[in-house]
Chain A
Amino acid sequence: MQNLMEACCRQCTHSPLTPCSDYISCRLEGPLCHDSELCKEARQDWIRTIQQPAEGKKRLLICAGTGCIASGSRPLKEHLEKELTARGLRRDVDIILTGCHGFCEQGPILIVEPGKTFYCRVQTEDVDEIVEQHLLREERVDRLLYREPGSGEAVFAYPEIRFYARQKRIVLQNCGHINPEDIGEYVALQGYQGLRKALSMERGAVIEELKRSGLRGRGGAGFLTGMKWEFTANAPGEKKYIICNADEGDPGAFMDRSVLEGDPHAVIEGMLIAAHAIGADEGYIYVRAEYPLAIERLQIAIGQAEKYGLLGTNILGTGFNFNLHIKAGAGAFVCGEETALLTSIEGNRGMPRVRPPFPAVKGLWDKPTNINNVETYANVPHILRHGADWYAQMGTRTSKGSKVFALTGKVNNTGLVEVPMGLPLREIIFDIGGGIRDHKPFKAVQIGGPSGGCLPESMLDLPVDYDSLTAAGAMVGSGGLVVMDEETCMVDIARFFLSFTQKESCGKCTPCREGTKRMLEILTRMTQGEGRPGDVEALEELAQVVKDSSLCGLGQTAPNPVLTTLRYFRHEYEAHIQEKRCPAGACSALLTYQIEADRCIGCTLCARVCPVNCISGKPKEAHVIDSTRCIKCGACKDKCKFNAVSRR
């Protein structure tokens, strides 16, 4: 046995061509078809090494998600291997590259098992000390432990960190704890049990289970997943398709990427269950081209599932066939809209189509097609495994289960957080997120990406669920939560989102194509100090027209950031128009940087940090900023120790 998925001895005959219906159960409890203590022991050995390391054996989990790789996690593995080999410890320690832990801020993250010691911002220089002190002397390396913001207290173990302690991890359960490139690890942790159960059920019963769970689409609109499946299942036609929308394009959201990179089999299992329930035999995962690592991990996962007969023909001997392909996007945000995505897979410009007919009836190549997003599919195996009732007990009356949010911006702990639906925003931002950076006051939180809205402090006790957020003018959307402090200008944020949607508008509907352009012009003018009376009213009218008369979700929601900032931060718009002033001090056209001659001691620090070299002056004499060349980056102000740089 080379790994958990392989045959224990010659008596096991499972292969893609000769499938065994007990294959999955057999991996965990087996062997089932014959009695052999030896075979059983071999299986249990594998499971133990994955679930908990054997006596005396240690497991080092290194995060190899995109965030941690960027912070330098890849060389860590090599260094550790070298160091362990040099000390003759290589056989006693497993080094495993995992997916994302969601706490990218603290990367690279290294976890030592047993004990779940959580080391953060680990660099290659630290490897020696970890081996010497932790692995040999069994003493923690204090300086690498995580410290809670505020109290500064060191936390020893992973589950005690407040960022994790308050979360409810279902979709992210495996992310960061298993090797995403090994299907055996997924199976050892109950993977593919949901599929096994689904295959033993009638198709209608699987759909009923989904409906009872109350799962709603995690991609944006929040439509009931079970209902969507039912429409496709009932649509006439022999050939049906299952599509996973992994074109995660909302700026500020990266949960789908983390799930694909950290637990790709969960998505594949969810799609298999959907395919069985709907009666589809072919599927596509449409992934953004900007996510090369996700594509690579998916390719590996699909290859392994095919090798062990979990994808292909006659899966587990049930007569169920399903083949899965990856389609890489080519860089168009609008392709996240389901009909545009279909048009793109068909090889065209990714422009949305008129609905109805909905994809459930007439989708890919005019065949009935079910489209869900990554997080939605990743929820499905858990629902089948634990039952709809278990799932439905989490969340609120109309929004069940948990949701992953990407918490970013000016908050202490940035990263992925999974919480039960209905948790108040305040708890997410202040308890899990650890509050605002540098003790600055909270100003707003932008939720739901370019389709969502900005909510002020007075809305912080709002429960985060589909309906409450929609009523407040925002939306759950894909789950981006960008926290802003007093230095963020709300007019500028509205302009930022509009410039994004304007650029990404496919141009099919005139109101979206032209309306967003005109709105952007007005907002840009305001941020440059050229706002005029009547601008706000014009914005409101344009927003309504674009909302009412666009074909797809992009246009229908594009004005949301403008409308919510107008609703909650109207005074900032007025300050820009009437006083030509940016209260947040963010709109650079309304600012000038100057050096106060009486405070400047001529230390030359500012001149050295200026990225465009526009500060001149002799050492020990007052310096001067050339305002014609100044890009207003503020680097000089940040660096000056004498508070001599002023911003007006």
Chain B
Amino acid sequence: MELICPAGTPAALKAAVEAGADAVYCGFRDETNARNFPGLNFSREELRAAIALAHERGVKVLVAINTFARAGALDVWHRAVDDAVEAGADALILADVGLLDYASRRHPDQRLHVSVQAAAANPDVIRFYVEAFGARRVVLPRVLSVAEIAAIVREVDCETEVFVFGGLCVMAEGRCSLSSYVTGKSPNMQGVCSPASHVSYHEADGGTVSRLGDFTINVFAEDEPVGYPTLCKGRFRTEHGAGYIFEEPVSLDAATQLLGLHEAGVTALKIEGRQRGRAYIERVVRSFRQALDALEAGLPVETTELIAMTEGQATTVGAYRKTWR
């Protein structure tokens, strides 16, 4: 299985390449990608240099242009596609049907991957992307169990890529407007979720309140670690009580599922975290490189190093084992 690693900066890309990535994914410094955070991402010049560096080491570069193009401003997204192709990207990761159509007609030889933001969750819709746009790979949404993934792989005529580590969307990706309901900024349109610009913390009654825009997302007791107010992972109240109504503040760690994903026929494993620093990328990539090498050699997979990387946060294997079903 290929190891696909995130890079929010040229330094992180270099770290991922050196730590054993098979491919690195990144985006332009604008609203065309779904990690449009301040200080992150690549200029055109930086992308060209990064691709040269990666290719020297036999590592591929995948360019994510995976927001939905703004009506009346298609040229911004078209230019991103054209420039990524011109820079020598090994694949484009796209979600918008109109943009997939543009890329497949304008650049028929360019390898296209279907972004997780397209929410392609079953063989029928994957077949649509393959037949309509010649997509070569689909990044599966984080709503599927290992058995469901295996069933999809058997039925479709393209490669599959799944997330194994990092942030975890609770809702179907690319189909969530919770962030724009609260802040006016959404993953689909601006490439941000629960943006830092709208986050605030204040002390109250011996605890810490975290807020996003006008809404309280969590209240932490003094002895509790204070977490970032990602809004689907906050504590809220219904008539049945208060708590993490949607999901606990957990991140994904599917290192224990690698053998199952391998047997399911998955092509590539993806690590989330283009917003992460170089040191984090270096350690997580190296750990997964070792785990994959062990898997291929038929040795037991050691995952203790990864647990340390979750920064004290609880982890979950997500939907890969659907305990809640």
Partners in one complex: no
Q: Interface on B for A, CB 8 Å cutoff?
A: none
